Structure 1
Amino acid sequence: MNRVAPVSRTPAVWLSAALLVFVSSFACADAPAPAARPGHAAIASANFHATEAGLEVLAKGGNAFDAAIAVASTLSVVEPESSGIGGGFMAVLHRADGREVFLDARETAPAAVDPKDYLDKNGEPNRDTALNGPLSAGIPGEPAGLAWLAAHYGKLPLSASLAPAIRIARDGFELDGRLADAIAGREQDIRRWPASVAKYLPDGKVPTKGQHWRDPDQARTLELLGAHGFDGFYRGEVAGKLVDAVHAAGGNWTAKDLAGYQVKERAPIVVDYRGYRVVTAPPSSSGGVALAEILNILSGYDLGKLDEAHRTHLVIEAMRRAFRDHNDYLGDPDFVKMPLDMLLSPYYAAGLRQTILPDKATPSSMLPVSTGTDPGMHTTHFSVIDKDGNIASITLTVNYTMGSTFVAAGTGVLLNDEMDDFALVPNKPNVYGLLGSVANAPAPGKRMLSSMTPSIVFGADRVGVIGSPGGSTIITQVLEGVLAFIDGKDAAGIVGQKRYHHQYMPDRVDVEPGAFDPATADALTRMGHTLKERSPWGYMNVVTWDLKTNRLDAASDPRRESGLGKVQ
Structure 2
Amino acid sequence: MATPSELHGLWTVYQKFGSGKVSWVRLFEPSIKLALNGFPVSSHLAFQIAQKEEQILAEPSLKRTFVDAATERVYEEGDLIKREHLGFTLQLIANSSDPVQLFYKGGVAQTIVAEVQEHGGYVTLDDLSAYETLIDEIPIENDNLLAGELSMCGPAPPSSFAITQSIVAVLSELYADDTENAIDTNDALFYHRIIEAEKFAFAQRSRFGDVEFVADALKVAQNMTNKSYAQWIGSLIKAQAQPSDYYSLNYSTTYQVSDRGTSHVSAIDRDGNAVSCTSTINQILGSMRVSPTLGIIWNDELNDFSTPVEGDNLTFEMNFIEPGKRSMSSMSPMIIYKKSTGKVRLVIGADGGSAVISSIAQTVIRSILLNETIKEAIDAQRLHNQFMPHQTLYEQTFPKELVDVLSDQYAQNMTATEQVSSVVHALEVRDDGFIHGNCDFRRHISTYPCGF
Fold conserved between structures, TM > 0.5: yes
Match of 2:16 among 137, 147, 152: 152
Decide whether the 8 Å contact of 2:281 with 2:298 is kept in 1. Answer: yes
The count of aligned residue pairs is 422
SS at match of 1:564: coil
Query: Corresponding residue for 2:93?
Result: 225
The CA distance in 1 between the partners of 2:258 and 2:31, in whole Å, is 31
Query: Is it true that 1:456 corresponds to 2:327 in the alignment?
Result: no
Query: Corresponding residue for 1:333?
Result: 211
Query: Is it true that 1:543 corresponds to 2:427 in the alignment?
Result: yes
The CA distance in 2 between the partners of 1:264 and 1:217, in whole Å, is 30
Query: Corresponding residue for 1:493?
Result: 376
Decide whether the 8 Å contact of 1:319 with 1:503 is kept in 2. Answer: yes
SS at match of 1:543: strand
SS at match of 2:351: coil
Query: Is it true that 1:294 corresponds to 2:167 in the alignment?
Result: yes
Decide whether the 8 Å contact of 2:85 with 2:294 is kept in 1. Answer: yes
Query: Corresponding residue for 2:84?
Result: 216
SS at match of 1:381: strand
The CA distance in 2 between the partners of 1:378 and 1:329, in whole Å, is 24
Letter in 1 for 2:240: K
> What is the CA distance between 1:554 and its match in structure 2?
1.2
Decide whether the 8 Å contact of 2:259 with 2:280 is kept in 1. Answer: no
The CA distance in 2 between the partners of 1:553 and 1:321, in whole Å, is 32
Match of 1:179 among 45, 48, 59: 45
> What is the CA distance between 1:378 and its match in structure 2?
4.4
1:289-333 CA-partner distances (Å, limit 9, x unpaired): 11233234334312655662111111111111111111x210011
Query: Is it true that 1:403 corresponds to 2:275 in the alignment?
Result: no
The CA distance in 2 between the partners of 1:190 and 1:564, in whole Å, is 30
Letter in 2 for 1:251: G
Query: Corresponding residue for 1:30?
Result: none
The CA distance in 2 between the partners of 1:215 and 1:173, in whole Å, is 9
The CA distance in 2 between the partners of 1:542 and 1:186, in whole Å, is 29
Match of 2:154 among 271, 276, 280: 280
Gaps of 5+ in 2: none
Letter in 2 for 1:278: M
> What is the CA distance between 1:370 and its match in structure 2?
5.9
Judged with a 3 Å threshold, the aligned counterparts in structure 2 of structure 1 residues 344 and 389 are, in CA distance, closer, same or farther, namely closer
Query: Corresponding residue for 1:363?
Result: 243
Query: Is it true that 1:316 corresponds to 2:180 in the alignment?
Result: no
1:144-176 CA-partner distances (Å, limit 9, x unpaired): 122123212222332221122112211211111
The CA distance in 1 between the partners of 2:306 and 2:74, in whole Å, is 34
Judged with a 3 Å threshold, the aligned counterparts in structure 2 of structure 1 residues 375 and 530 are, in CA distance, closer, same or farther, namely farther
CA RMSD across the alignment: 2.6
The CA distance in 2 between the partners of 1:249 and 1:191, in whole Å, is 18
The CA distance in 1 between the partners of 2:223 and 2:327, in whole Å, is 22
Letter in 2 for 1:518: K
> What is the CA distance between 1:225 and its match in structure 2?
1.5
1:66-108 CA-partner distances (Å, limit 9, x unpaired): xxxxxxxxxxxxxxxxxxxxxxxxxxxxxxxxxxxxxxxxxxx
1:171-193 CA-partner distances (Å, limit 9, x unpaired): 21111122122222223333443
The CA distance in 1 between the partners of 2:108 and 2:257, in whole Å, is 36
> What is the CA distance between 1:458 and its match in structure 2?
2.1
The CA distance in 1 between the partners of 2:54 and 2:291, in whole Å, is 17
Query: Corresponding residue for 1:533?
Result: 416
Query: Corresponding residue for 1:20?
Result: none
TM-score (normalizing by structure 2): 0.86
Query: Corresponding residue for 1:113?
Result: none
Decide whether the 8 Å contact of 2:255 with 2:315 is kept in 1. Answer: no
The CA distance in 2 between the partners of 1:427 and 1:362, in whole Å, is 30
Query: Corresponding residue for 1:466?
Result: 348
The CA distance in 2 between the partners of 1:276 and 1:519, in whole Å, is 34
Decide whether the 8 Å contact of 1:241 with 1:408 is kept in 2. Answer: no
Q: Which sits farther off after the overlay, 187-196 or 496-505?
A: 187-196
Q: Percent identity?
A: 27
Decide whether the 8 Å contact of 1:467 with 1:540 is kept in 2. Answer: yes
Decide whether the 8 Å contact of 1:372 with 1:506 is kept in 2. Answer: no
Match of 2:3 among 139, 146, 161: 139
Gaps of 5+ in 1: 1-136, 430-434
SS at match of 2:74: coil
Query: Corresponding residue for 1:268?
Result: 139
SS at match of 1:485: helix
The CA distance in 2 between the partners of 1:451 and 1:178, in whole Å, is 21
Judged with a 3 Å threshold, the aligned counterparts in structure 2 of structure 1 residues 428 and 448 are, in CA distance, closer, same or farther, namely farther
Query: Corresponding residue for 2:447?
Result: 563
Structure number with greater CO (CA < 8 Å, separation at least 6) is 1
TM-score (normalizing by structure 1): 0.70
